[in-house]
Structure 1
Amino acid sequence: MKLKELDELIFELIKKVETNLPEEVVSEIKKAKTKEKTETGKKILKSILQNIEIARDAKKPICQDTGTLTFFIQMGSEFPLRDKLKKALLNAVEKATREIPLRSNTVDPITNKNTGNNIGNYIPYIDLEITEGKDCEITLLVKGGGSENMSALKMFNPTNTLEDIKKFVINHIVEAAGKPCPPTIVGVGIGGGADLSLKIAKKALLRPLGERHPNREISRLEREIIEIANKTGIGPMGLGGKTTVLDVHIELAHRHPASLPVGIVMQCWAHRYGKIRIYGEGGVEWLR
């Protein structure tokens, strides 16, 4: 595979993620519409589903906020295109901005000047993990500004309990209300350092909806937060109803004995993500 082919492949990944919501997300929204009791909530969920269908058919962005692009990459140490990957990512983002098109969402933090191509310092965000072998997996997550603004971090005392963490997460969902465009997916990172807790909270969003954490206690905590959040009455787009969150995913990282950070990252109903595997021996597999 040459650089131009790699550019085109990543461009197609971006296009698919921006215009075609994963079927598992669509399915959860349909289930929510069936369960929703309020007329306003039902109408909003119906409009969301219509929006998804129009975007898919027209191959246009699902939301006017085409977000910031985050690439999670697991690259084999022998992947033959390892020296070309970053260049291909940047080329693809620039082309996607121009041709899909994407809204230019990358501005200087001081001057507010827009770069015009969704490329800037540390943006797009690239998280790279080196693995064994010749293959490379690229996962793209797109998050808009409304949901990103509802991220949170709290440095707990190590003596705090899971019950304290549960209250923090629920209170944050209530305070966020309609700002992250619910129904949301909520990622929670417990442990690590301040930065790591937020990173694993964002990665938690990529777990398939409905899949619980393998740790029974954490799985129970996820279910409890979902149940309580959906009884708050916030509802779709914050206008009332029983569908406030579609799912809650918690991830854990070992921590310093003196620290207990908890990060929260929220994703709007337009949960845009996709994943491909590029085989070092040739060929591509679309995983999500």
Structure 2
Amino acid sequence: MSVSGDPAFLKSLSDATWKAVRDAEINLPPDVKTRLEHAHRNESVLVARKELENILENIRLAEERSAPLCQDTGIPVMYVTIPPGFSWSPEMEQAVHEGIKKATNDVPLRPNLVHPLTRENTRTNTGLEMPPVHVCTGDRFTITALPKGAGSENVSRIHMMNPSEKGSIPRFIVETMLKAGGRPCPPVFLGVGVGGTFDKAASLAKEALLEPVDSMTEYEQDIYDQVNRLGIGPMGLGGDTTCLAVKVKFAGCHTASLPVAVNIQCWAARRATVEVSL
């Protein structure tokens, strides 16, 4: 089904984008807040516990004042699910970008998007083939905003490992956090992509940050425990809580390859999903 030229639908898509971006920037998902509250209750180091108190107060004030959670409002990476029979179009992508522009003006958001060499700012958080819109098939037509700030993005890593090194994957993840230290504003969430190709592993790592964080597999829990033994703590000041959750996504890969990507997310693991009216 094609609705790419329907003005009413395109407005609905733009409005849903605006709402998803706005909600993600102001309100943390309940599972993320629960992990932070759990960390605060169980933190044994006084300075770390005070930092977690500051974070929880930050969250409360953002909700109360309808203000962004962080001065780095990031670049809104967008994920769209479309029901079977629908097709994605350039007009739909433009509608998404219009919603981002409106959110940038209304919330307001810091204009972060610049040309990589000239550093000229687009002032809208769109343009220059950004931000990306990832499209997949789903039961409903939805749009999800995942704002990604630079502090955590800058310390993310990818490594093309040899297949014989599969047992060293947890070590690479822990090493990535050790190198990052306090720069990504811990406590963090770690999205990990294992397999696929160079680009697929990175995509998987970011997609892992969309997963609920109220449970972990045994593999994820083991990595989580290792990361927290680093003692980096909230804001890098030391403590029990360096990581709030680890989420890993896998994909098949070439027999001679083993790509591994780690996408670090700060404590403000912002994401919001809105259903698009058809």
The one-letter code of the counterpart of 2:39 is A
**Structure 1 regions of 5+ residues with no counterpart?**
213-218, 281-288
Does structure 2 conserve the Cα–Cα contact (< 8 Å) formed by 1:148 and 1:266?
Answer: yes
Partner of residue 264 from structure 1, selected from 262, 265, 278: 262
TM-score (norm. length: structure 1): 0.90
Map 1:231-250 onto structure 2 (within 5 A): 231-250=229-248
Does structure 1 conserve the Cα–Cα contact (< 8 Å) formed by 2:13 and 2:276?
Answer: no
Provide the residue aligned with 1:161 in structure 2: 166
Number of residues of Structure 1 aligned to a counterpart in Structure 2? 271
Alpha-carbon deviation of 1:202? 0.6
Give 3-state SS (helix, strand or coil) of 1:87's partner.
Answer: helix
Structure 1 stretches of 4+ moved >3 Å = 77-84
Does structure 1 conserve the Cα–Cα contact (< 8 Å) formed by 2:186 and 2:242?
Answer: yes
The one-letter code of the counterpart of 1:199 is S
Question: 2: distance between equivalents of 1:73 and 1:4?
Answer: 15
Give 3-state SS (helix, strand or coil) of 1:47's partner.
Answer: helix
Question: 2: distance between equivalents of 1:125 and 1:166?
Answer: 29
- 1:119 equivalent to 2:126? Answer yes
Aligned pair in 2 of structure 1 residues 80, 173: CA closer, same or farther (>3 Å)? closer
Alpha-carbon deviation of 1:221? 2.1
**Structure 2 regions of 5+ residues with no counterpart?**
1-7
Question: 1: distance between equivalents of 2:133 and 2:19?
Answer: 18
Provide the residue aligned with 2:97 in structure 1: 90
Map 1:181-260 onto structure 2 (within 5 A): 181-212=185-216, 219-260=217-258
Partner of residue 68 from structure 1, selected from 75, 96, 99: 75
Alpha-carbon deviation of 1:130? 4.1
Alpha-carbon deviation of 1:19? 0.6
Give 3-state SS (helix, strand or coil) of 2:164's partner.
Answer: coil
Question: 2: distance between equivalents of 1:191 and 1:83?
Answer: 30
Alpha-carbon deviation of 1:13? 1.5
Alpha-carbon deviation of 1:78? 3.4
Greater Cα offset, 47-56 or 68-77: 68-77
Alpha-carbon deviation of 1:137? 2.0
Give 3-state SS (helix, strand or coil) of 1:71's partner.
Answer: strand
Aligned pair in 2 of structure 1 residues 64, 160: CA closer, same or farther (>3 Å)? same
The one-letter code of the counterpart of 1:266 is I
TM-score (norm. length: structure 2): 0.93
RMSD of aligned alpha carbons? 1.7
The one-letter code of the counterpart of 1:113 is E
Question: 1: distance between equivalents of 2:124 and 2:238?
Answer: 37
The one-letter code of the counterpart of 1:277 is E
Question: 1: distance between equivalents of 2:16 and 2:81?
Answer: 16
- 1:16 equivalent to 2:14? Answer no
The one-letter code of the counterpart of 1:156 is M
Alpha-carbon deviation of 1:51? 0.6
- 1:49 equivalent to 2:27? Answer no
Identity of aligned pairs, percent? 37
Provide the residue aligned with 1:283 in structure 2: none
Alpha-carbon deviation of 1:233? 1.0
